[in-house]
Chain A
Amino acid sequence: MDLYLILFYFFAIITLVSAFFVVTTRNVIYAAFNLMLTLFGVAGFYVLLGADFIAIVQLIVYVGGILILLIFGVMLTNKITDTDIKSGFLNRVPGLLIVGTFAGILIGTLLKSTWRIAAPLPPPVAGLVGIGNLLMTEYTLIFEILGAVLLIALIGAASIARKQSN
């Protein structure tokens, strides 16, 4: 077994196990910390795929930003030490059954289908410069409208947060 595979399984296990705990734990704080591991594992995949820029962004934005925000949110909205924030379950059995079937069918399809392993991918665009060039040329539109999406997310958030008079 070469190092690449070992690393892959390492990240895979981290991702899966922590994701499982995110869903099953009843304590929101634990869920948040497990989510951090999950996101970290995914970042590992990006590194393995050679997309180091995205891996860094994943770490900075998700682990460093969003997750911290999430934990802050939980801590500020509740006296965390006194009461545990619990999330309950509804329709456990039918839910499990249906999700199990769904997962089974998905895995089945993926196993059965032939993946194009042989076809070599075009050499990845190297580094930040390449990505920057692409964003400003071929993908200008996407770049611009993502800006619009972020703007509207801001406005939306402001709108929700603003004080409404009676």
Chain B
Amino acid sequence: MRHQIYLAILLPLLGFLFNGLLGRKIKNEKIVGAIGSGAIGLAFLVVLVSFFETVALPAEQRALIVPLFSWLKVGLLEINIGYQVDQLSLVMAMVVTGIGFVIHIYSIGYMHGDKGFWRFFTYLNLFIFAMMNLILADNFVLLFLGWEGVGLCSYLLIGFWYDRKFEKSTTSDAAKKAFVVNRIGDFGFLIGMFFIYLNFNSLNFTEVFSRAGVLSGIPESTFNIIALCLFIGATGKSAQIPLFVWLPDAMAGPTPVSALIHAATMVTAGVYMVARCSILFASAPLALTVVAVIGLATAFFAATIGLVQNDIKKVLAYSTVSQLGYMFLALGMGAFTAGIFHVVTHAFFKALLFLGAGSVIHGMHEEQNIQHYGGLKKYMPVTQRTFLIAAIAIAGIPPFAGFFSKDEILWKAFSHGGFFFWFIGAVTAMFTAFYMFRLYILTFEGKPRFDSAHVHPHESPKLMTIPLMILAVLSIVGGFIGLPHVLAGEHGNLLENWLEPVFKVADARLLRSAESSGSLEVLFMVLSVCIAAVSIYFARRVYLNKPAIADKAAGTFSGLYRTLLNKYYVDEAYDAAVVTPILKTSRTVLWKFTDVKIIDGLVNSTASLFTGLGERMRKLQTGVAQFYAVLMIAGIALALFWLISIIN
């Protein structure tokens, strides 16, 4: 199957084509859902078989490139369509198709009765297709195509309910925001690719990385520029400071989309890309530091915002941003394995949290404010239990999945970055445990705060709860693939051993070896478990026993509270610093200057300049045939004049 890995890409495409072309005619949700999910399920099987085949091979034969055909060849530039099957891409592919399959199943239940049912599955399959291209690509161009493809699907799915209101505006505006912010990131990525081509004369992973692997006189500054440009791309896709603003708004889309795209898979594309380019980043110390600092800052700030949000999906969105920050912290520390490990475990529990939230929203008639929940435990027991498992996992209580991956990151932060990195990371972990249990308690525990006369919460159908259970199991046991050395014994860290060949060169460049960890690591582990436990205890005490404390605290620190509630006013700041000036300039200067009517709201200042020019030039088109003829003669006369002047 390894050599037929393209099947895993083709199947979602077929599902997309089938549902896209015939979905509207079929109208039968069962068929559309079965085709959509089946395609992904089969793709998952293909990946799984390939995985086991790869495991059976000796380590040095595991990496494989499956070339399909030459796509473009002009001059030196040669772009092939080819897929890379190696340890890293297989792990990612399993996560994407596996979680994707589960979420597809869940969506059959969640989207039941929606008039855009077939459209939803069409987009979802297209998304998996694009994501698989991104992950399995063996060159930067194909990766970028996948990168753009997932962006397009994300855009389509955020705006899926284009006729619904979202907060103050519409889902289309949220989609547009995601689109625009991501374009900024993509621009950085493109420039990065351009520099890579300039310096390595290739865009093929194997060639670029092998050339970067042998130090061949390319200065460190070049690596820094390349790595930083790529990282700008990653900040866009993976919602890091300063480009994280789109992700909370992306929650306008249906909840399974939030789970699949905006939590488990697409947003981790940035992490994957950095890990894939590990050698480039390892050669760029400055860029690596930037990655670590941005990651840490994002983790911290997003966690603080998450403390006070009241929309269930918003809390989870900021939590996602924060967890992505952890991943980048790990990458910045040069601990690429730890980053990928957290991608995997995070995919499990965050998908679970979102699906659980979707189940709650489903049962509560589209209510999303957690202040209007409470005591849902007895109405939706399965959702409650699985949600609790996920919350424990993300809070970092052993032996749940989140504990191992987060702890590994914190430990790497300490051993490679120093006490400061560890400390902020640990505080963030504390916040994480707090807001997660705040969310859990306000939703499921305590007394109902909803109008029980009109709202009748109910458990979701089996199609939705079974995926929850699957993910719950994964959230419990998922962490064992990456047990720390201290606990793992003779087998060591499975994931680290598995991924070791991929990051070998980068590790060597960073002078990292598989270090032995001692009693200090155990101490830190105990410490972080204590922090999480204390944090959970406080959350429970405040929100279950004495809700007044929370209000009082909000009153005492009203300034801070409001700052957090308004997300540090980042959106407002961007509006004031970037959006408004552009709009103002265009309105006061350009509009009056060119005196044109603006056709729609999308038009920005440059466009209005050109439309103004167009309006002027359009006047040439008088409609009088004689005038046209005169202009032609004028053109011919000029051409003849040129001819005479060059003949002599």
A interface residues (Cβ-Cβ under 8 A, vs B): 90-91, 94-95, 98-99, 101-102, 105-106, 108-109, 112
Contacts and interface: CB of A to CB of B under 8 A. Distances in A.
A100 to B, nearest CB: 9
A19 to B, nearest CB: 17
Contact of A91 (B627, B637, B647): B627
A105 B633 contact: no
Contacts of A95: 626, 630
A109 B626 contact: no
A105 B641 contact: yes
B636 interface: yes
B633 A90 contact: no
A102 B640 contact: yes
Contact of B633 (A98, A108, A109, A112): A98
Contacts of B647: 109, 112
Interface of B: 624, 626-627, 630, 633-634, 636-637, 640-641, 643-644, 647
Given A108-B644, A109-B643, A109-B644, A102 B627 contact: no
B640 A98 contact: no
Given A108-B644, A109-B643, A109-B644, A90 B637 contact: no
A102 B630 contact: no
A107 B630 CA distance: 19
Nearest to A99: B633
14 contacts: A90-B626, A90-B627, A91-B627, A91-B630, A95-B626, A95-B630, A98-B637, A99-B630, A101-B641, A102-B636, A102-B637, A109-B643, A109-B644, A112-B644
The 9 closest A-B pairs by CB, nearest first: A102-B637, A105-B640, A90-B626, A98-B634, A101-B637, A95-B630, A98-B633, A102-B633, A98-B630
A106 to B, nearest CB: 7
B630 A94 contact: yes
Nearest to B624: A90
A109 B640 contact: yes
Nearest to A108: B644
B476 to A, nearest CB: 77
B621 to A, nearest CB: 15
Given A105-B640, A109-B640, 8 more contacts: A98-B633, A101-B637, A101-B641, A105-B637, A106-B640, A108-B644, A109-B644, A112-B644
A91 B627 CA distance: 8
Contacts of A99: 630, 633
Interface of B is mostly: helix
B639 to A, nearest CB: 9
A91 B626 contact: yes
Nearest to B629: A95
Nearest to B643: A109
Contacts of A109: 640, 643-644, 647
A102 B630 CA distance: 11
A143 B637 CA distance: 35
A98 B634 CA distance: 6
Nearest to A102: B637
A26 to B, nearest CB: 15
Contacts of B641: 101, 105
B630 A105 contact: no
Nearest to A100: B637
Contacts of A90: 624, 626-627
A105 B634 CA distance: 12
Nearest to B630: A95
Nearest to A106: B640
Contacts of B627: 90-91
Nearest to A103: B637
A112 B647 CA distance: 10
A98 B629 CA distance: 11
Contacts of B634: 98
Contacts of B640: 102, 105-106, 109
A93 to B, nearest CB: 11
B626 A105 contact: no
A95 B307 CA distance: 76
Contacts of A112: 644, 647
A99 B634 CA distance: 8
Nearest to B648: A112
A94 B627 CA distance: 10
A98 B633 CA distance: 7
Nearest to A101: B637
Nearest to B641: A105
A72 B12 CA distance: 72
A91 B624 CA distance: 11
A103 to B, nearest CB: 9
Nearest to A109: B644
B598 to A, nearest CB: 34
A90 B641 CA distance: 25
Contacts of A106: 640
Contacts of B626: 90-91, 95
